[in-house]
Every structure is written in C-alpha cells, then in structure tokens.
Structure 1
C-alpha cells in the first residue's frame, strides 16, 4: 500500500507535522502567554527553535544523502575467492563472496539489496518511507540524530505545554483562556505526545541496535540464527561486528562524544568494519 504513495508526500507530511507542533504552539500559546517579544519568551523559545532547526537540518540530510552506493568495480579480497586448501566451504563456514544478481555486482560485508530503491546499499538498515530514502551507512548517523532531536524537542514542547496549563489553572479565577488557545493546547498536546511516543519507541530500538553495532536487517538475521541454534539446526556462532558498547556508538556517531549530536559524515567507508 505504501509503495503506491510518492515519497515526496511523506516528506511534505513530516515537514508540515513538525511545523504545526513547533510554530502553532508558539504563535497561539507560548508567545501570547509570555508577553510576545520579552526576555522570558526569548529564554524559553530560542532553545526550542534551535532544536527545531536541528530537526529540519538532520531530516534534510537523512532525505538527501545517498545511503551508500557500492563503489563501481568493487571486488572482494582475492583470498575470499579461493577455497582453502584441504577444506570445503562447509568445513570453514565460508560460502564465498556475496553477489547481487539484480545489480550484477559483488556485495561488500553488511550490504543488502533494497527492492524499493532497486539497488544495493552499504550497511543497509531499512527503507524508510518517511524520508523517501533508504537508511544505510552514509545517512544512518543523520537519521539517528533526526529522531533524537525529535524526542528532545517534543519533550521540551510538552514541558512548555504543561507549564501553560498549570499557569492557567492557577489563575483561572481572574483569567479565562481564549477558545483558540484551548484548541491549540489540546491539538499540540495530542500531536506532541503521539509523535514522542512513536518516535521514542523507534529511538529506543535504534539505540539498542547501535549499541550492539547491528542494523535492523542484521537484528532480524541474528534472531533467525538464534532460533536455528536453539533448535540444534546450526552450531553457535559469534556476531563478528560487536566491538564493545562505546566503540559501537563511536562507529556511527563519531569518536568524540561531545560532537555526537552535531551533523557530520561517518568516518568509515562502509566497506571494511572492525
């Protein structure tokens, strides 16, 4: 069903949803309550607008950054093309290089073919209709920062909305809010809570995956492998890309924790992994 909807429809819808929560709340609730262009309004709303700016910028990067093309002419190391002397593929557990019949190219480690984009993507995580793009090695950091800033900004907005409701309740005898303010209070509460709930669950899942240095595809594959191990179908196998909690996060967000939330390109090439 989602396949039939153009990607730009999702992008426009997400952009309008962000704008509705960010700007209707300020125009009809926060600014009138704080005296419009006052110091109080500046202290409360400048940080909020900076968060919204980071949402838009990281969303733009997630949508427009190529998730990771397989370099033209890439081939696996020569050693993986040759069988080990005296051992079969069954003995070593090596089945040879991975090859995509659709793209007619060798697939580097952790690369998968996206049936929506009709191409192979380096360290593919999933195809996301909300950004009209695949999430892969090159734009996964932007995607992570986008959803994290959505969580932070929605939490901030909900905090301001709670403050406004409490101030109304404390002064209800002397001040009656307008119908417009009440409508936008309810609307923004619902929208901010629903977005925070949905994106929050998505964020927790991806933080879990990132901490284990696995993509969504690899998470599904690991679950399948664990099931086969429990049934005795295959021998236990260790996941090779987990290099420790801290290094796993650094491999996605960068080596400096102080700049984890600052937009930047990944440091690795998406072809070789520790």
Structure 2
C-alpha cells in the first residue's frame, strides 16, 4: 500500500510521540503532570485514527472504499435475493397473463360474438389476437435472449475503461451487472420481471413487450368496461340486500370480470408510465444508466462553462430506427408491427459517434 508523503510524515510524527509516551516522564510536583498527560493522550488518539486510516487509505482510494467493503455483504444478499425473486416474477407474469387470456375467452369474447355487429367482431378478433401474439413473442424473446457480453478475446476489445469487478476491458456503453456477475453491452438495467438484463441484443424486445402489453391491457379494459359496470352493480346489490337465488357460475363470471378490469387497468397505468419513460430515453439516445451519467456530466461541464452533448444521440427519428432496426419503409411493418427476430444494428462494442469530444464522458 503506497502512502502519500504527507501521510508518511504524520505517521512518523505519531510514532515519535508514541515513543515519547512510552518513556518515563520526570515531571515536577503538583499538577504539572496533568497537561502533559492530556497532551499525550490526545497525541495517542490522533495516532490511533491515523493508524486506522492507513489500513485502507492510499493515493487511489478514500473512505468510500471502506464503506463499500463494509456493505459488500449487504449488496451480496440483495443481488442474490433479486436473482432468486426473478424466477418468481417471471412465473407471476405468466400466470397473470394466462388468467387474463382465459377470462377474455370465457366471458368477454362470447359477449362480443353474440352482441356486436359483424365488422366489430372482425376487428376484435384481429386486434385482440394480434396483441396477444406480440406480447407473448416479445416477452419470450426478452427473457431468453442474451443482452450481450464483451468477447472473451480481450485483446480485440476497444475499451474505454476497466471493469473493477471483472478486471477486464470494458467497451463504451458497457456496464457491470452485479446480479448477473458479468458485464453487459449497452446495459439499460436488470429487469426482475424478465429475470434478465436489458442490453444491446434484447433492448428492442423489452421495449416492444412493454408497449404491446400496455396496449393489450388498454384493449382489455375498454372491451370489458360494460361488463365490469354490470358485474360491479350486481355484486353491490348482492351485498346490500339479502343474497338472491343466483347461479354460482354467474357470480364467478362477475368476480372474474372485476378481477380482469382492475388488473388490466392497473397494469396499463403502471406499465404505461414505464413505457413512456423509456420512449423519452430512446428519443434522447440514452439508456437508464446513461441518463444518470449524462446528468452528472452535464452538471460538471456546466460549471466549466461548457455544454454537454450526447455522442450517441443521432436525432429522434434516427434513434428509433437504430433501436428498432428499421432500414427501409417496409421494415416498419415487417419488423415493428409483426414479430421479427432480426438482430440490432452493430455488435454493441463499437459505436458510431456523431462528433468527437475533447472532454469525453466517463462511461
């Protein structure tokens, strides 16, 4: 451990004072020894603090390093619990989605087929099944597709920094996931609902799932609105007056419709807000992690009288084309509105910047 020159001087001074403390003192009579005692105790206390700091402080670290080491067991527990709960969350998503589909097929769709005009029946059958296919496809791809990791051949990685956890080169826009215990290319965040990181190769799947799940929940909420009002009124009457003689299947249908409407409406609001937030990030050419980094960099350069520009921002429309993999007009239909397994642009290691920075952002 390499100590700075000032620390070496203080340490040597403290050691000399400690040696003086160990020598017998020939003090005079009376209270002359009390100031000497208090002074030596103070010097010994300062030496003890200096000794403690010397155990963790050098020219490359500070007190934050000690706190990180102290809280490392807590971080480990949180990461492992999150990893374990990821399986539970994925199972919960599958069960809730399946329950919604079953209720729609048992109670909502028969009502549409029996009461709606032909053109509305065709529209509901087409729109509903299209949304279902898009939700299932993109969720499956988001959970099973690897987000992308730096290659094992470290000599060919054009890195901008070194990962402190992996002790390996880290390309631009790459960050270490403590839950997955590896670096992720263009990491956005670790999603427990996917039990997977959102990175370069599954970012499009994640956003498309959020978008189509939100649209699907909105569709179910609007389609079952009249049935929900009817079921709510029936259950309200059931609890306000003596229970009438009703069939058990009808009561189950009322409860199922209420469950469907409450669940889909809640998810539409919550997931809609998340989708809107990611839409803003995509329009800016940022990920969730880069949003925090860019804010700090903007503040740092503003203090120097400079303006920060995101090197990965190519314009709103171009940012969406890059994420969705749209290269020509027909791709808006074949790659966005229909299930598609095409790979994203680039390899996630080398990124095209729209300008050269003299004061680069630390990634």
Normalising TM by the smaller chain, what interval? Answer: 0.7 to 0.9
- Could you tell me whether the CA contact under 8 Å between 2:148 and 2:199 is conserved in 1? yes
CA deviations 1:108-160 (Å, max 9, x no partner) are 11000001000000000000000000000000011011111101111111121
Structure 1, unpaired ranges of 5+? 78-95, 170-175
**Counterparts of residues 102-181 of structure 1 (less than 5 Å):** 102-164=165-227, 178-181=250-253
Residues 44 and 118 (structure 1), Cα distance of their counterparts in 2 relative to 1, 3 Å cut: same
Corresponding residue SS for 1:34: helix
Q: Which has the higher helix share?
A: 2
Task: Give the TM-score normalised by structure 2.
Answer: 0.62
Q: Does 1:10 align with 2:89?
A: yes
2:98 to 19, 22, 43: 19
Say what the alpha-carbon RMSD is for the aligned residues. 2.7
Higher mean C-alpha displacement, 2-11 vs 63-72: 2-11
Using the alignment, how far apart are the partners of 1:46 and 1:260 within structure 2? Answer: 17
Q: Contact 1:228/1:234 (CA < 8 Å) preserved in 2?
A: no
Q: Distance in 1 between matches of 2:273 and 2:80?
A: 24
Greater C-alpha radius of gyration: 2
Q: Report the counterpart of residue 310 of structure 2 in structure 1.
A: 239
Q: Are 1:263 and 2:335 matched, yes or no?
A: no
| 1: CA distance, partners of 2:299 / 2:273 | 25
Alignment pair present for 1:198 and 2:273: no
Uncovered stretches (5+) of structure 2, i.e. residues with no partner: 1-77, 233-245, 353-363
Tell me by how many angstroms 1:66 deviates.
Answer: 0.5
Aligned residue in 1 for 2:124: 44
On the 8 A contact 2:160/2:172 being kept in 1, the answer is: no
